[in-house]
């Protein structure tokens, strides 16, 4: 028997949309769980029974996004070094990176809200760690398979992880004008860009 006090999938989507809208309008600090519930048209008592406060609600949505992003790690780890090097040589993106940007495009409204100046600063740090550990590191370990354990590769991985988040933030802030394919190709060029290379394709 269904719990009459449980949130439905429709309720959850309405709360998510309300949270995004209110962060964009007023900023995270200025809103409450009651504000979000009212905007979503969901009984605040039911919402509070599950989430207690706005931060727990936001954390639940952030965790969904981060969990989905971690799912790309397995696909990246399956890429063969020879295939990766061939794509790098021809300045072509890994298909999984195209899929990654397609997912990010689908979450652009949420990302715009939480990564913006009125959003959640801690999410940026969590996203940066994920991009370093689960996206940048697997790609670089494939391409630089003979350099495992070097301090340079460790720092380069941290550098790339932060850079990837910067690219995502700029793309989202601009309204994601480029296609997922274009962004994947651009990211691959940025990852392996050498001083003196032409910035033209």
Overall average pLDDT of the 72-76 stretch: 89
pLDDT-derived band at 1 (thresholds 50, 70, 90) equals: very low
For the chain, the helix, strand and coil percentages under 3-state DSSP, each to the nearest 5: 75, 0, 25
Q: What average pLDDT is seen over the chain?
A: 89
List Cα–Cα distances, 163 to 17, 34, 70, 142, 150, in angstroms: 28, 37, 18, 19, 20
Is the C-alpha dihedral spanning 85, 89, 93, 95 positive or negative? negative
Tens digit of pLDDT for each residue in 116-170? Answer: 999 998 999 999 999 999 988 888 887 777 777 788 888 989 999 999 999 999 9
pTM of the model: 0.87
More confident position, 89 or 50: 50
Per-residue pLDDT at 193: 63
Domain ranges of the chain: 9-52, 62-191
**Domain 9-52 = CATH 1.10.10.60:** yes
Overall average pLDDT of the 77-96 stretch: 80
Contact 44, 61 (CB under 8 A): no
Per-residue pLDDT at 178: 97
**Has residue 100 got a pLDDT over 50?**
yes
């Amino acid at each position: 028997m269904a719990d009459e006090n449980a949130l439905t999938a429709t309720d959850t989507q309405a709360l998510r949309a309300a949270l995004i809208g209110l962060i964009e309008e007023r900023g995270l600090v200025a809103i409450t769980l009651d504000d979000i519930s009212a905007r979503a048209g969901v009984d605040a008592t039911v919402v509070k029974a599950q989430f207690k406060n706005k931060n727990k609600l936001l954390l639940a949505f952030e965790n969904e996004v981060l969990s989905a992003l971690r799912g790309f790690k397995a696909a990246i780890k399956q890429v063969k070094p020879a295939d990766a090097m061939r794509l790098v040589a021809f300045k072509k993106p890994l298909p999984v990176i195209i899929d990654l940007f397609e997912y990010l495009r689908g979450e652009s409204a949420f990302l715009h809200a939480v990564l913006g100046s009125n959003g959640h600063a801690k999410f940026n740090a969590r996203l940066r760690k994920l991009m370093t550990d689960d996206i940048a590191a697997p790609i670089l370990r494939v391409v630089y398979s003979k350099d495992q354990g070097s301090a340079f590769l460790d720092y380069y991985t941290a550098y790339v992880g932060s850079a990837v988040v910067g690219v995502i933030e700029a793309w989202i802030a601009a309204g994601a004008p480029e296609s997922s394919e274009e962004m994947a190709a651009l990211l691959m060029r940025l990852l392996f860009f050498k001083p003196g290379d032409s910035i033209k394709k």
